[in-house]
């Protein structure tokens, strides 16, 4: 009889405390990793808005090289072959050009990126055009 009792007391496995500790560690790791992943995801998604400046930037550079605007105030949406301004909608990023400043606004889609802007400012109207980056995306480290 004593031998039978010994057999049950030598059983192996995890105790409830050990399992609870593992669950707590996994929970802590998830709590730290999820916000970092969300920031990474938003940053990669915002690159779509930065890419949207490419065609407008090229149009401004062509205007400076060929059409010779008299000042930066003349460089605006709809002038010198620069695309007209577009308001942000649920499906489309907004884009404006005013005083040689290109502003892209994230689409009005209700996401955490809504309203975040990226700007490119042309430093003068001489060729080659040098660009200065700005916008609210820098404060959130999206660009």
* Domain architecture of the chain: domains with CATH: 14-134 (3.30.700.10)
Q: What is the mean pLDDT of the chain?
A: 89
pLDDT one-digit tens code per residue, 12-29: 788 999 999 999 999 999
**Contact, 43 vs 141, CB < 8 A?**
yes
Q: 101 phi and psi, to 5 degrees?
A: -115, 120
**Contact, 93 vs 117, CB < 8 A?**
no
pLDDT one-digit tens code per residue, 64-75: 988 878 888 889
This prediction has a pTM of: 0.75
Identify the DSSP state of 74.
G
pLDDT one-digit tens code per residue, 79-90: 999 999 999 999
């Amino acid at each position: 009889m004593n031998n039978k009792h010994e057999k049950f007391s030598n059983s192996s496995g995890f105790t409830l405390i050990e399992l609870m500790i593992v669950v707590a560690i996994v929970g802590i790791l998830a709590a730290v990793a999820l916000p970092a992943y969300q920031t990474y995801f938003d940053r990669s998604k915002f690159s779509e808005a930065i890419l949207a400046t490419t065609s407008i930037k090229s149009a401004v550079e062509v205007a400076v090289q060929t059409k010779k605007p008299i000042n930066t105030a003349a460089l605006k949406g709809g002038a010198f072959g620069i695309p007209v301004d577009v308001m942000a909608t649920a499906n489309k990023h907004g884009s404006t050009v005013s005083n040689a400043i290109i502003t892209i606004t994230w689409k009005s889609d209700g996401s955490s990126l809504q309203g975040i802007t990226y700007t490119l400012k042309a430093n003068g109207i001489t060729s080659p055009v040098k660009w200065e980056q700005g916008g609210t995306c820098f404060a959130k480290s999206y660009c």
